Structure 1
């Protein structure tokens, strides 16, 4: 089905937007140009503009290409991945903790996320112009505010402290929370604390949860279940475990499947078609062969043998037992240039163009793990264990329910989180919110743990590097933006 979307540039210098013909989220330039005031007098244009906001999630610095791709940044900066000696050295500086304000590996997300926000705010700018009414209006406003919220969350967790990271983290410098469409804004500043930013994120998501009405048939658009799930993520980062449970349970009540054992490999490996399995997916960034958006290219390419930039750390690879369905879904053992590697092929697809698959931004399994951890931290280990065993029963072909208690139970929850969400932009932020260091195994890049290890093996929990640098280009455009300390 063909639809039009509005293309809005963050740095647009005119009051014009381009209408482009696309397949759901595919940008294809057309020759139609129209003044935005006129364009936003038609109800269908609002939907087109909203789809354009979703499309921005596939921009450079978010979920496309290799440099700074968020599908890999949260793992190559930790103990999950090891750089190969036969790769192209993409993202090497970031993996070596060499973060700088002029390197797009860690700065690319900043501008990419604000572009998503700008496009969402464009929709909100016209939401009260009388063109839309009733549930059509409230639903679209909810959708735009929710997308705006999660993009701000992606920025604040990367460039500011996480509330649970240190005793005073909530009162440290946050980010600018953009609530109006102003693409040439060069006067904004980081005028909010971390806690105030989280308040605004929560406010937008709560509005969305109360007002969104669209069902979750299209996983490429936000639904009530997804928004509740996102609230559980936000509250886990805030250390608000009561609300982590509240909103997580609401999400799981609406979308209870955490992906069955039978479907788990299929949600990662099926490339094309309307019958694609989305069991356990709450929100994904749609992708198709026509778009040629190779989201998995940051991990490896077929040339024609599989050539990887980074491979799974040997200790993590061996933590997946032979009866764990995730091992076959996430990895392929193969040889390149005479060397054998444990390649990460979670995003390689199967039966279609390599590395072109949807990005699972939020899955029910994460929500379950959020809630399980929150139950543990609020003293309800019994329910935490019930949820943990529910997940494990769908990941291991032969499984005897665990009986862990106390610290062993928390360790088991965090272990399953690492195994489940590996290569989904979680590991760096889990270590950060728990105020834990990066401690790599010292193992090499080859399939048996030999070969060349990472250059840098540790990053202390208190290091300033847990807050990535603001891009120098953003500061040059707007000197009011304060750089993070020591950059």
Structure 2
């Protein structure tokens, strides 16, 4: 196949120009910087949508590089309290994990740029597609619905780092919401409320469109695209953050009904890509050159353990043998090339690694799909949402016990209420979603302090606590964006 360059613009002042999908798209003609040319067939739009998904794998978004880590894969756990930097790490991410980064930090600008490049590609996919609606309504629905969902998901991901808070009607600073292809646009930051308004508008429109499509988007063996279930899962997630608990519960319920939890016997296979059980949406990785998520945590082929599970995290598992998650998530491994990866919780090897992303099957190359959405999260969303609603504690407890029963052999149901129930749900969330890119955001949205008591070795000087009032929770807008975009110049995050 002959690949053609796709020259697009970012729509923000920071150099988000020249996003390229050379490896994915075969479109003619080449597109000029001003984006004046429009696709001439729905096949072109299909290719563009594929390019949008491909950009999620780039370094800075989910993908890892030598000096930049995946902002929405490894980083949220590296910056929190479930992973700790070791003396095997090269120190490239210490500014982030020790909270000493500044607006000029390359990791921040790369994440910002990566996110808006996905958004730009989604907007290219959306531009002009309605001209085909009358003749090919269901096909247009399928393409347009996915592009809208991707645009909403990425803007929400930006809000998770750069938003001042997560209150639904907050007038605090959100993020620029880009909906057009314009190389010279310099949008200002919206408020948190306005950002939510547009995220929900895109997702609810996507939900309507994806309910009426021409062909199935995913299959039983592949969950590589956003379908109706994935949109509803995203809505459940965003509604939980915005504290609309009734809607979070309703959408999580729809997904749980459609996609049940994996059996305990099959759970470990999810992380080896041997099973699609309870996977709702996963980003596909197929080779080592794609910047696979979490290589900066444990590089399996080199046996380099940059960030290990904290003792505080591993101690959350009261019975490491009975809980199928422990051996799926954590392993023991001696130093040295070719050392065996031991999943037996009884191992006396004290060097612990993240086992979740070692590789497909028996491979140890970190080439494994990134699970963006799965049913385990939906149970925890519904449990938390129910616990926060009057008269629904019993149902919340049932969700907690159901999830635990699916993960822990011979589990005995507990009877909790009030704050004890909420604490248990949040602890279960920490265990279930370990190293899946949630911990930092969960701490931020519940305004909790980070406390680190497991800072040993060469990096014992890591900051041991982070107050809920710290400016660090709201990332600074990259300095390059501030310099290039006059409309955002006076909207730098507080304290930066």
Which range, TM-score by smaller chain? 0.7 to 0.9
Deviations 1:84-103 (A, max 9, x none): 01221131111101121111
Please, what is the CA RMSD of the aligned residues? 2.8
1:162, CA displacement in angstroms? Answer: 2.7
* Alignment partner of 1:312 is 2:315: no
CA distances 1:389-446 after superposition (whole Å, capped 9, x unpaired): 111011112211121222111111111100011111111111111111111124536x
C-alpha spacing 1:296/1:8, structure 2 compared with 1 (3 Å): farther
CA offset at residue 42 of structure 1?
A: 1.9
Contact 1:170 1:193 in 2 (8 A): yes
Structure 1 counterpart of 2:366: 355
**Counterpart check, 1:245 vs 2:249:** yes
Q: Give the drift of 1:198.
A: 0.5
Pick from 104, 107, 112: which aligns with 1:110? 112
Alignment match, 1:34? 30
Any conservation in 2 of the 1:216–1:225 contact (CA below 8 Å)? no
CA deviation after TM superposition for structure 1 residue 290, in Å:
7.2
Q: What is the Cα deviation at residue 16 of structure 1?
A: 10
> Secondary structure in 2 aligned to 1:298?
coil
Q: Which moved more, 1:105-114 or 1:201-210?
A: 105-114
For 1:80-479, what aligned pairs fall within 5 Å after superposition?
80-130=82-132, 133-164=136-167, 170-182=170-182, 184-190=183-189, 192-212=190-210, 213=213, 214-217=216-219, 218-255=222-259, 257-270=260-273, 276-289=274-287, 292-302=290-300, 304=302, 306-320=303-317, 321-322=319-320, 323-336=322-335, 340-349=350-359, 350-352=361-363, 354-379=365-390, 380-444=392-456, 453=460, 455-479=462-486
Compute the displacement of 1:38 (Å): 7.1
The alpha carbon displacement at 1:295 in A equals 2.1
Deviates more, 1:204-213 or 1:436-445: 436-445
CA distance in 2, matches of 1:78, 1:388: 24
Find the residue that maps to 1:486 and give its secondary structure. Answer: coil
8 Å CA contact 1:63, 1:295 repeated in 2: yes
How much does 1:463 deviate? 1.0
Structure 2 segments unaligned to the other structure (5+ residues): 338-348
Q: Does 1:484 align with 2:493?
A: yes
Partners of 1:162 and 1:116 in 2: how far apart?
A: 23
Q: Distance in 1 between matches of 2:208 and 2:4?
A: 26
User: CA offsets, 1:327-354, max 9 Å, x none?
Assistant: 1111121222699521112111142351
Determine the C-alpha separation between the residues in 2 that align with 1:215 and 1:29: 19
> Cα offset for 1:278?
1.2
- What is the rounded CA distance, in whole Å, between the counterparts of 1:169 and 1:40 in structure 2? 38
Q: 1:35 to 1:439 in 2, by over 3 A?
A: closer
Q: CA deviation at 1:163?
A: 2.2
Pair 1:398–1:477, CA change in 2 (3 A): same
**Structure (1/2) with the larger strand percentage:** 1
